[in-house]
Amino acid sequence: MNLPEYVKIVDVGPRDGLQNHPETVPLATKIELVDRLTDAGIPVVEAGAFVSPKWVPQMADTADVMAGIKRKPGVSYPVLVPNLKGYEAAKAANVEEIAIFGAATEAFSQKNINCSISESLERFRPVAEAAINDGMKVRGYISCVLGCPYEGDVAPDAVAYVARELDRMGCYEISLGDTIGTGTPAKAQAMIEAVAKDIKVERLGAHFHDTYGQALANLLAVMQMGVAVIDTAVAGLGGCPYAKGASGNVATEDVVYMLNGLGIETGIDMDKLLAASRFISAAIHRAPASKVALAYKGADAA
Ligand code: HMG
Ligand code: MG
């Protein structure tokens, strides 16, 4: 198997995981979660989102999260930004990396950010420009790359089109979201193949939700094509407010366990990662969705 030697893990649990949690998660819990993840060696932790609090109330305290965390040198703490208003708030919070987020389907774009794909691209352009001028890094997301809750199948070319647009705006990395987790390995490979025609595969990230239990298989399939950036969520936290039935991102513990078994470097300490998983699971009173976390818990109990 042709696999990368190192995979960069982007833990999106504090944002993607908690954005959909039904009860308010205390600020101190969010801050401790981010700090525990970086202490475990996670190189990129998505810390929050500067979006409308009416749309996503769970992310309303992102400025306080950014002010409260211990910023570890060398670690990136990206936040989602949908428009210039969000950008100004991110800048005021001394954010160093933002993520703009579009979709491969019109219906999802409307439900998620209340505009069409082309309107969203027009909206992102000045945001990316301002961020780059201010010395920030810009990550790009595309949702529904392997299926849409409203439109069903998604053509790889539709994903490649949005990816090219985000690339032109200066995104250093493009994260490809299987928002509803319906993808399977050959479909995931076909999508990567289409996007990688225009953008180097090293600049693509896999952001796979595990709703149908396919995420690890899909990740192995795309790693064989050179993908070496994987978005995960500790404890498999989360879902998506605009994708009914979606479950969380593939659990960080499960991906790190697989990568360890493959001899792929991540720089992550599994014990500290499991401790972070137990911390957030206890804090929000939710059993981890991670098989690895459950297996270690079972072994400990025995
Ligand atoms: P809109 O209602 O069309 O916006 O929402 P608007 O410009 O008409 O403004 C409406 C109100 O929101 C105004 O306040 C604005 O000031 C305020 P009012 O005058 O009514 O009091 N507002 C804001 N407040 C704070 N921060 C802002 C902001 N912008 C406007 N940035 C908008 C459009 C994009 C704002 C809205 O739809 C929104 O916030 N959407 C975010 C949805 C979201 O966060 N979704 C989850 C993240 S995406 C995801 O999970 C997928 C991903 O994980 C990949 C994958 O898995 O596929 C990334
Ligand atoms: Mg997501």
**pTM exceeds 0.95, yes or no:** yes
Q: Which of 8-17, 213-222, 280-289 has the lowest mean pLDDT?
A: 280-289
At 211 the three-state DSSP class reads coil
Q: Tokens for 11?
A: 């833990």
**Residue carrying structure tokens 């595309």:** 142
CB 43 within 8 A of CB 263: no
Residues 6+ apart with CB under 8 A from 290: 234, 235, 236, 251, 252, 253, 254, 277
Q: What separation in Å is there between the alpha carbon of 61 and the centre of ligand 1?
A: 14
Is 296 within the bounds of a domain?
yes
Say if 82 falls within a structural domain. yes
Query: Which atom of ligand 1 has the smallest separation from the CA of 19?
Result: 46
pLDDT band at 122 (very low <50, low <70, confident <90, very high): very high
Mutation choice for ligand 1 from 51, 110, 208, CB with most ligand atoms inside 8 A: 51
CATH number reported for the structural domain that contains residue 155 in this entry = 3.20.20.70
How many residues would you count in the chain? Answer: 302
Tens digit of pLDDT for each residue in 87-106? 999 999 999 999 999 999 99
In a domain, 136, yes or no: yes
19 CA distance to ligand 1 middle (Å): 12
Q: Which tens digit of pLDDT belongs to each residue from 181-227?
A: 999 999 999 999 999 999 999 999 999 999 999 999 999 999 999 99
The dihedral built from the CA positions of residue 238, 242, 246 and 252, taken in this order, carries a sign that is negative
Strand partners, 230: 9, 206
Residue 6 dihedral angles phi and psi, to the nearest 5°: -130, 140
Structural domain includes residue 37: yes
Asked if residue 249 is part of any domain, the answer here is yes
- Confirm whether 26 is domain-assigned: yes
Judge contact between 216 and 255, C-beta under 8 A: yes
Q: For the chain, how many structural domains are there in total?
A: 1
- Average pLDDT of the chain to the nearest whole number: 96
Q: What residue ranges in the chain does DSSP mark as E strands?
A: 8-11, 44-45, 48-49, 79-80, 97-103, 137-143, 173-178, 204-208, 229-232
| pLDDT tens-digit map of 65-78 | 999 999 999 999 99
Rounded CA separation 104/146 (Å) = 9
- For residue 253, give every residue at least 6 positions away whose Cβ sits within 8 Å of its Cβ, in sequence order, or none: 234, 235, 270, 273, 274, 277, 288, 290, 292, 293
- Please state the φ and ψ torsions of residue 265, each to the nearest 5 degrees: -75, 140
The pLDDT value given to residue 178: 97
What is the distance in A from the centroid of ligand 1 to the CA of 74?
A: 29
When pLDDT is cut at 50, 70 and 90, the band that residue 22 belongs to is: confident
3: in domain? no
CA distances from 100 to 6, 56, 197, 298 (A): 25, 16, 22, 40
Tell me, yes or no, whether 1 lies in a domain: no
Which protein residue has the closest C-alpha to ligand 1 atom 25? 52
One-letter amino acid of 26? P
Angle of helix 156-168 relative to helix 185-195, nearest 10 degrees, comes to: 40
Its domain, for residue 44, covers 8-301
